[in-house]
Amino acid sequence: MRASIPRLHPHQAAALTLVLASAFPVAAAAADPPPRSREVQELIDEAEAAAKRLELARARELWARVNVLEPSTMAVCQLGVFDLRLDRIEEAAAELTTCVARMPAPTNDIERRRYEVRRADLAAVRQRVAELHVSAPPGTARLLVDGREVTAGGPVFVAPGQHEVAATGKQGQVARALVKVTAGQSRRVALAFEAPKAASAPAQARNPWTIGAGAAASAALLGAGVGLHLAGNAAESETAAKVSRLSDGSMLPSSAQFRKTYDEAHAANTRAGLFHGFGTAAIVVGAAVGAATVVYVVWPRKAELRTRGAGAEIKLVW
């Protein structure tokens, strides 16, 4: 009898090839393995088992833990391989770039094959991403690409499309740029903070003559207004007295004295209206001058609005 060999689906075959390709660096180094802790070795064994079960996300997670515990070129290379197959192209491009840069020159066929596989993976993924080289302005505290913190100078791999590049300065300055890139493109982005505004001239000191003149004018107008109102009240009293004489029956309406008293009452009433009118106007103007003087004294001489990284600052100067 002939044993039947199960046929694999093309996707399963490709994944199995990946597993074998990603496992051979460990096997190749088995003759002279680097010292590893027991925890790391267990994680590597579990990652290889997960890869053989085609659980690529789980294998990638385990290799990430290995790289945190004991960073190594092998761990970075494995992360790049799994991220590429998981279609995490931005992470894969960065990891495979580091992997190829750190791999020593091959000395035998196995190492040469491994090196060629990694270079082929890197070439493939770099055709699917764009590369940004960001020049940060002096005094930059943080550099972000799409909200992700990156390092200035080194390549930043991004998916094709539009991206926001931002820098935050140590003094709260912010510089931003929108960049649109296509697959395989390499682009340099230079950021610059806005030049600080020239310092404004110092605010002039309060003029004491203006304050004194305003206070004196206000007091004079208020005093004049009160005096005019008092004069108006006196004129009203005089008018009332004259009207009382006209109506008490002591004078005949046709007499000259009646006519004279009537004219005096009319004149007193006119004066009362004028005094009250001018007095009210003087009080209103005096109060306005006084209020303006107070505002001149207490109101800030200068207000500045300064933007900060986390908001704004308002500065008032008296």
Q: What is the pTM of this model?
A: 0.53
Q: How many CB atoms lie within 10 A of CB 74?
A: 20
Residue 201 exposure: Cα atoms within 13 Å on the Cβ side: 2
pLDDT at 315: 52
Q: Which two tokens stand for residue 198?
A: 């020239």
pLDDT at 304: 52
Q: What are phi and psi of 255, to 5 degrees?
A: -80, 160
pLDDT at 31: 40
pLDDT at 1: 42
Q: What is the assigned CATH class of domain 10-128?
A: mainly alpha
User: Long-range contacts of range 33-40, CB-CB < 8 Å, 24 or more positions apart?
Assistant: 34/72, 36/70, 37/69, 37/70, 39/69, 40/66, 40/69, 40/70
pLDDT at 206: 67
pLDDT at 289: 80
Q: What are phi and psi of 90, to 5 degrees?
A: -65, -45
Place of tokens 């008490």: 248
pLDDT at 63: 93
Per-residue pLDDT of the chain (318 residues), as tens digits, is 444 434 444 444 444 454 444 444 444 343 445 678 899 999 999 999 999 999 999 999 999 999 999 999 999 999 999 999 999 999 999 999 999 998 888 889 988 898 899 899 999 999 999 999 988 888 888 999 998 888 877 789 999 999 999 999 888 889 899 999 999 999 999 888 887 655 555 556 667 777 777 778 878 888 887 888 888 788 788 888 878 877 777 777 777 887 887 888 788 789 888 888 887 988 888 788 878 877 777 766 555 545 444 444 555 454
- Please tell me the distance from the alpha carbon of residue 294 to that of residue 215, in angstroms, as a whole number: 9
Helix (H) or strand (E) holding 149: strand 148-149
